[in-house]
Amino acid sequence: MKQSEIKELSTAELQEKLGETKKSYSDLKMAHAISPLENPIQLRSIRRTVARIATELTKRELQ
């Protein structure tokens, strides 16, 4: 998910998306611990998406 897409979402949508993304990250991380993922770069991508969403939420809280 790109930063421009994140900025367009409402705060409620961002919080919902953050929960979904964190859950998918933890699921992928567990799957990777059991047996290696076909594409381990997915972990980095999802982790960065979580950070982008969290950053946008913090930015909105401060304004």
Dump pLDDT digits (tens) for 7-60. Answer: 999 999 999 999 999 999 999 999 999 999 999 999 999 999 999 999 999 999
- Please report which confidence band the pLDDT of residue 1 belongs to, taking 50, 70 and 90 as the band edges: confident
For residues 36 and 32, what is the distance between their CA atoms, to the nearest angstrom?
Answer: 5
The model's pTM: 0.91
Judged on CB neighbours under 10 Å (0-12, 13-18, 19+), 49 is buried
